[in-house]
Amino acid sequence: MTTSMRILPLLLALTCATRQPIAPARAPDYDVRIINGDVIDGGGGKRIRADVGIRGDAIAKIGDLSRATSRITIDAANQVVTPGFIDLLGHSEGSVLIDPALEGKVRQGVTTEVTGEGHSPGPLSEAMAAEAQRTKLPGYPDVTWRTLDDFMRVVEQRHSAINFAFYIGAANPREIVLGDADRAPTAAELAKMEAIVDEAMKSGAVGLTTALIYPPGRFATTDELIALARVAGKHGGGYWTHLRSESATMPAALDEAFRIGREAHVPVNIFHLKAGGSMGGRMAEVVAKIEQARRSGLDVASQIYPYTATSTDMTSLVPAWALEGGYLKFVARLKDPATRARVLEALRTGDGSGILVRNVPGGTPEMKQFERKKLDVIAKAMNTTPSEAALRLFEASQSSPIAIYFGLREDDLMLAMKQPWVAVGSDSGAVVGAMREYGAHPRAYGTFPRILGHYVRDEKLFTLEEAVRKMTSLAASRAGLRDRGTLREAMRADIVVFDPKTIRDVSTYEDPHHFSEGISNVIVNGTPVLQDAKMTGALPGRVLRHVSQKQ
């Protein structure tokens, strides 16, 4: 055999060998793996050392994953791993359309916000849409939607870093049908209002809300609210309320809420539980009254934010009759000397030292200088009384100024927060865009970290496990979010990783625009939106539509 004949079979063998198919690379076991952390599952049980594996948008495995592989690995050594926090009353429905990253929420560990206190972003009449268009902030889109379903679709199309669920505000159907009139609806008008609530619930609203200190909600009768709540209840929704009073007549306001729950056959949820004014120091009476209702069989719970100052529109200081017809008509009434005198006499400003003006919307430079100042200081600069200074601020604003009100007691707050049926709601939207030019309540940046840091670690008010339960599984159960709120296999992967030794709120009343610290990673629907303390730019949030359970 010649040399060439001996080499030929060898060449053929080598050629065939190179044509063998290459085995594909093995796919990672998980998309995301969180290792070395202490897992707090949200149900109230003790923490355990475990790893968490995520595939797609769901939790695939909790256990020892040290030999597994993953596309993204998060080392949670010396940190805790918990379900994402659920903000039962945010106000980011406007913020998300300006900046969907919502960094102030993400850095608190919020993965889901429920919003729409009293008023919801839809449904809207043409007049309501025009007013929203008139007062919108820079960067906010044109108000093209009219129904709540339309608004949900706008959020879905523009995307968000966190999930959203929506209430239907009882003020919306009232304003659509009655405008700003201070009267009870006729039977025919009430039927129209019920139909509006029915449509919103079919679209996925969580329940019906009221804010009974603001017009036009404060004009609503109890019978009207029972009728509307009954519609929400037929779809499996609850009744959520900012009580008609949180001071002297608070016991009667609680009785009204309980009556609505009983007669409409719906769960009752009390927004931001507090005891103000003459109720200060009497939170034990409030707790006892709620406990009595619970023992009687009424499904009633509450939520809270961990601060002793409140924040809301300054029109909450104004008598109801003066606000009929809306803000611009109220300001026009102030031109009449007799009416102005009546309003001045009824204003509840006190000496002004307990009121910090956050912003003067659309105000002149002369008036904008008074933002982030207390009303008594403003009055002194104007050389007038606090009440007259408030009226001048109203006249200078295109919509109600917003203020921070000091006056709640720390012992009341702590007693309320300890109750096992009290969850958490910031009562504030994410501060984005032009909003950062104004003052803000620190709850916008620090609600959840303040509880975990100050009240759990420093004050030892309750355990970390209990705090997490309030922010997760308790909140999810109240809002009907069945696939979130606990770390279990097959649940949606909304997850927070934080250091319990360093987590803290940084924002203050005087210097509010600071993000909280101590949270390293936030995952929403399986996708990191905060990774190693840096925003990723991902927008995996969803609109969580309540599934109607119409009977």
**How high is the pLDDT of residue 423?**
98
Query: Among residues 436, 459, 484, which one ends one of the domains?
Result: 484
The Cα 449–Cα 445 span in angstroms is 9
For helices 187-203 and 222-234, angle between their N-to-C axes, nearest 10 degrees? 30
The Cα 457–Cα 463 span in angstroms is 8
Cis peptide before 123 (omega within 30 of 0): yes
pLDDT tens profile 43-84: 999 999 999 999 999 999 999 999 999 999 999 999 999 999
Q: How many domains does the chain have?
A: 2
Cβ neighbours, 10 Å, residue 5: 8
Positions of the chain with pLDDT under 50: 1-5, 7-18, 551
List of residues 6+ apart from 451 with CB closer than 8 A:
306, 417, 424, 467, 470, 471
The Cα 220–Cα 232 span in angstroms is 17
List of residues 6+ apart from 34 with CB closer than 8 A:
51, 52, 53, 54, 74, 76, 81, 495, 497, 521
**Is 133 part of a structural domain of the chain?**
yes
**Is 10 part of a structural domain of the chain?**
no
Q: Same domain, yes or no, for 347 and 416?
A: no
Residue pair 445/296 in contact by the 8 Å Cβ criterion: no
**Is 103 part of a structural domain of the chain?**
yes
Query: Among residues 375, 406, 437, which one ends one of the domains?
Result: 406
Q: Same domain, yes or no, for 468 and 360?
A: no
CATH number, residue 270: 3.20.20.140
Cβ neighbours, 10 Å, residue 71: 12
Query: Among residues 357, 372, 406, which one ends one of the domains?
Result: 406
Q: Same domain, yes or no, for 398 and 415?
A: no
Count of positions (residues) in the chain: 551
Closest CA to 493 of 89, 1, 59: 59
pLDDT tens profile 279-329: 999 999 999 999 999 999 999 999 999 999 999 999 989 998 998 888 999
Q: Same domain, yes or no, for 325 and 467?
A: no
Q: Same domain, yes or no, for 391 and 466?
A: no
Secondary structure string (H, E, C) spanning 431-455? CCHHHHHCCCCCHHHHHHHHHHHHH
The Cα 498–Cα 449 span in angstroms is 10
- Stated as kind and residue range, the H or E segment containing 256 is helix 250-264
**How high is the pLDDT of residue 13?**
46
Closest CA to 493 of 536, 537, 524, 539: 524
**Is 352 part of a structural domain of the chain?**
yes
Q: Same domain, yes or no, for 183 and 105?
A: yes
**How high is the pLDDT of residue 210?**
98
**Is 537 part of a structural domain of the chain?**
no
Q: Label the pairing between strands 402-406 and 355-359.
A: antiparallel
Q: Same domain, yes or no, for 150 and 238?
A: yes
**Is 477 part of a structural domain of the chain?**
yes
Q: Same domain, yes or no, for 268 and 228?
A: yes
pTM beyond cutoff 0.85: yes
- Which residues form the domain of 388? 319-406
Q: Same domain, yes or no, for 325 and 419?
A: no
Q: Same domain, yes or no, for 239 and 384?
A: no
Residue pair 429/92 in contact by the 8 Å Cβ criterion: yes
Q: Same domain, yes or no, for 325 and 304?
A: no
**Is 44 part of a structural domain of the chain?**
no
**Is 507 part of a structural domain of the chain?**
no
Q: Same domain, yes or no, for 265 and 156?
A: yes
